[in-house]
Amino acid sequence: EVQLVQSGAEVKKPGESLKISCKGSGYSFTSYWIGWVRQMPGKGLEWMGIIYPGDSDTRYSPSFQGQVTISADKSISTAYLQWSSLKASDTAMYYCARRPSGYDSHFDYWGQGTLVTVSS
């Protein structure tokens, strides 16, 4: 069974750093892209970026380039999303999702989400 299990909810202060995780199981982790999607409270889905764990090829949405870093450790089938200095506006639910190869492909499995709250 394909599963993406994300790390738990976080409460942070502005300026702090954070790294959240997404562990894949039940499939070949290095053969699928992993994307990250932000959902701010009461708002829609926003694509942040994507990584191919097989070779660490990474793409970012222009809206998030330079704001976050996406990485992966294929030895433990885990992808990461990290911030070096959080802002209150980073408060949101963050989802990871698996994307089969194919330039116009979809996200077929999603993690349960990680809620990040940034507040002083």
Partner 1 sequence: SYVLTQPPSVSVAPGKTARITCGGNNIGSKSVHWYQQKPGQAPVLVIYYDSDRPSGIPERFSGSNSGNTATLTISRVEAGDEADYYCQVWDSSSDLVVFGGGTKLTVL
The residue (of 14 and 100) whose beta carbon lies closer to partner 1 is: 100
DSSP string, 30-72: GGSEEEEEEE-TT--EEEEEEEETTTTEEEE-TTTBTTBEEEE
| Range in contact with partner 1 (rule: CB under 8 A) among 8-16, 19-27, 37-45, 68-76 | 37-45
Are 88 and 118 in contact by the 8 Å Cβ rule? The answer is: yes
Q: How far is the CB of 86 from partner 1 (least distance, A)?
A: 22
Among residues 75, 76, 80, 39, the alpha carbon closest in space to that of 58 is found at 80
x/- mask, partner 1, residues 73-112, rule CB under 8 A, reads: ----------------------x-x-----xxxxxx-xxx
Task: Kindly list the residues in this chain that would bind partner 1 in the complex (CB under 8 A).
Answer: 35, 37, 44-47, 50, 59, 61-62, 95, 97, 103-108, 110-113
